[in-house]
């Protein structure tokens, strides 16, 4: 227990906006409008860099320009399980070729550049995932100190192999890794470190983090056009906190892909609570799952900045879930059919792609927009071994019968890989219910209605019909 009153949990939380303003260099108050409305595009412009400038910044540290690969063997396999004339061509953007092995290098590149440009001595990131390694890698190239705050253990001091591997990667790049147990301690410790060090907050959710991903979407658009002579029909994106969806979709728009569908894919971990000590290690994925994807979609501003730049409901056209067993199965398919050994996050959207491509026409082009590196703790084998030790049943069978936190069922054949549709309207209604709770039950102003219509990619009439009547 901390005996310094200034460092009590309540006092630190009360100072969070001041701490964040110092650590990010953005006064978020300037974007506030009326009631729940704020000027999202003005906030995004605050990053201060054009797409061309971001590309040049990323080239300095060898980020981007990753290859687009056509998965010929997987496409053939899809067509074996599709109706005649069905089975889209599947491409994958090999983001594992970035310096730290994932698309998160794009996200970290601009934050670390901004920190160096404005004289910060170091950067801090709160993450248990690939982003920590990306920030550590980019800060090393920029000559900055780096601290990664990682939620690692449950109350029994147990940790998933995947999280341990990511912590090892952060340390390999020279970062100091502060490892904590699951719970509210993470954000509290993060704020204290920001205040004590005066380092830059390399948050996942600032305009810098999202602008860095926009190059991925625009790059992908250019590559597909060169390869097949047309825009991608659909781009599948692993959805967790929303930054991947937001940045890629914005980049596709800037690249002129106005009719490309943006499809989110998450692992179904419904029923598991990410802040629960019991549930923390009963999941076999640390990101790309509904434990982040649903709450961050229905209320983005639960982030570590006053206004989150990752706002997925502005961009999603469709949203599906897959099971853990299907992702493990597709990870093996990618390795054994295409000779590409890659990590679990990108393979979440690849599992979705296998099912979605089966329903699309053969001339359609489907792109999985990322891969990630793999390592000792990120392979299916150690993750499944750990799951077994946690009492999770692991077997072959029909993945539809799996229960998150209780069983992982590996498909017996590729034809069993399916997607489950998430009703976007229900997510939007949940957003509106939360907005009504934040605002009270008062009538919305015309400006707030317009804001919400853009925020939820819908009409002003739909907002008026559903405001205050959302579902959980």
User: In the structure, what pLDDT confidence band is assigned to residue 278 with cuts at 50, 70 and 90?
Assistant: confident
Residue 323: pLDDT over 90? yes
Listed in sequence order, the residues at least 6 apart from 22 whose beta carbon sits closer than 8 Å to its beta carbon are: 194, 195, 198
Distance (Å, whole) CA 353 – CA 368 = 7
Tell me the pLDDT tens digit for each residue of 26-46: 999 999 999 999 999 999 998
268 within 8 A of 404, measured Cβ to Cβ: yes
pLDDT of residue 5: 60
For the chain, domain boundaries: 53-101+208-421, 428-466
Distance (Å, whole) CA 163 – CA 169 = 10
215 within 8 A of 56, measured Cβ to Cβ: no
252 within 8 A of 260, measured Cβ to Cβ: yes
Q: Does domain 53-101+208-421 have CATH number 3.40.50.1100?
A: yes
Distance (Å, whole) CA 347 – CA 453 = 32
What's the whole-model pTM score? 0.96
Of 343, 290, 278, the C-alpha closest to 319 is 290
Residue 466 sits at φ, ψ, to 5 deg, of -115, -10
Distances (CA, A) of 430 to 262, 299, 407, 439, 467: 21, 8, 28, 14, 10
Of 440, 439, 446, the C-alpha closest to 461 is 446
Tell me the pLDDT tens digit for each residue of 331-367: 999 999 999 999 899 999 999 999 999 999 999 999 9
């Amino acid at each position: 227990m901390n005996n310094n009153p200034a460092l009590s949990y309540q006092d630190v939380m009360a100072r969070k906006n001041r701490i964040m303003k110092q650590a990010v260099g953005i006064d978020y108050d300037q974007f506030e409008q009326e009631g729940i409305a704020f000027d999202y595009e003005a906030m995004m412009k605050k990053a201060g860099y054009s797409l061309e400038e971001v590309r040049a910044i990323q080239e300095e540290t060898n980020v981007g320009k990753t290859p687009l690969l056509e998965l010929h063997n997987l496409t053939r396999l899809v067509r074996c399980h599709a109706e005649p004339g069905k089975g889209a061509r599947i491409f994958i953007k090999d983001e594992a070729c970035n310096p730290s092995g994932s698309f998160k290098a794009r996200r970290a590149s601009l934050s670390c550049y901004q920190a160096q440009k404005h004289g910060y001595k170091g950067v801090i990131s709160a993450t248990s995932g690939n982003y920590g390694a990306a920030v550590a890698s980019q800060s090393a190239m920029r000559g900055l100190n780096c601290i990664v705050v990682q939620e690692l253990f449950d109350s029994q001091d147990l940790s998933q192999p995947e999280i341990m591997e990511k912590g090892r990667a952060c340390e390999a790049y020279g970062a100091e890794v502060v490892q904590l147990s699951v719970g509210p301690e993470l954000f509290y410790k993060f704020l204290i470190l920001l205040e004590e060090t005066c380092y830059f907050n390399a948050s996942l959710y600032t305009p810098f983090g999202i602008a860095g991903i926009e190059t991925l979407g625009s790059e992908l658009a250019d590559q597909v056009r060169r390869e097949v002579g047309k825009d991608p029909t659909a781009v599948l994106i692993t959805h967790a906190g929303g930054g991947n969806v937001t940045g890629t979709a914005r980049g596709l728009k800037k690249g002129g892909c106005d009719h490309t569908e943006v499809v989110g894919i998450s692992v179904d971990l419904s029923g598991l609570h990410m802040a629960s000590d019991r549930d923390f290690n009963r999941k076999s994925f640390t990101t790309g799952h509904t434990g982040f994807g649903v709450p961050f979609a229905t209320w983005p501003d639960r982030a570590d900045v006053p206004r989150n730049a990752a706002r997925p409901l502005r961009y999603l056209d469709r949203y599906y879930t897959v099971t853990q067993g299907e992702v493990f199965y597709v990870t093996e398919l990618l390795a054994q059919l295409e000779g590409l050994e890659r990590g679990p996050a990108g393979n979440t959207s690849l599992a979705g792609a296998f099912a979605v491509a089966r329903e699309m026409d053969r001339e359609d082009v489907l792109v999985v927009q990322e891969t990630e590196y793999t390592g000792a703790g990120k392979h299916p084998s150690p993750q499944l071994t750990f799951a077994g030790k946690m009492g999770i049943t692991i077997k072959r069978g029909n993945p539809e019968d799996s229960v998150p936190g209780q069983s992982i069922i590996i498909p017996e054949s590729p034809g069993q890989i399916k997607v489950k549709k998430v009703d976007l309207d229900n997510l939007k209604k949940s957003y509106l219910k939360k907005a009504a709770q934040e605002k009270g039950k008062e009538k919305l102003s015309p400006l707030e209605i317009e804001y919400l219509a853009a925020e939820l990619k819908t009409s002003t009439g739909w907002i008026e019909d559903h405001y205050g009547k959302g579902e959980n």
